[in-house]
Amino acid sequence: MQTKPVVLTIAGLDPSGGAGIVADIKTISSLGCFPAAALTSITFQNTKGVFGAEHQTAATLRAQVQPVVDDLVVAAVKTGMLPTAKVVSEVVRMFRELKLPAPVVDPVMVSTSGHDLIGDEAFQIVKNQLLKVARAVTPNIPEAERLTGIKIETETDMRTAAQSIKALGAQAVLVKGGHKQSANGEAIDVLLDDTGEIYVFRERYLNVGEVHGSGCTLSAALASFLALGLPLPEAVKEAKRFVTEAIRLIGERQKIGHGASPV
Assess if residue 22 is contained within a domain.
Answer: yes
Residue 27 sits in a domain of what CATH number? Answer: 3.40.1190.20
Report the relative pairing of strands 186-192 and 104-105 from DSSP bridges.
unpaired
Asked if residue 197 belongs to a domain, the reply is yes
- pLDDT higher than 70, residue 113: no
Domain containing 239 equals 6-251
170-227 pLDDT, tens digit per residue, is: 999 999 987 665 556 778 999 999 999 999 999 877 877 788 889 999 999 999 999 9
Q: Is residue 75 included in any domain, yes or no?
A: yes
pLDDT at residue 259 above 90? Answer: no
pLDDT per residue as tens digits for the range 67-98 = 999 999 999 999 999 999 999 999 999 999 99
The total number of structural domains in the chain stands at 1
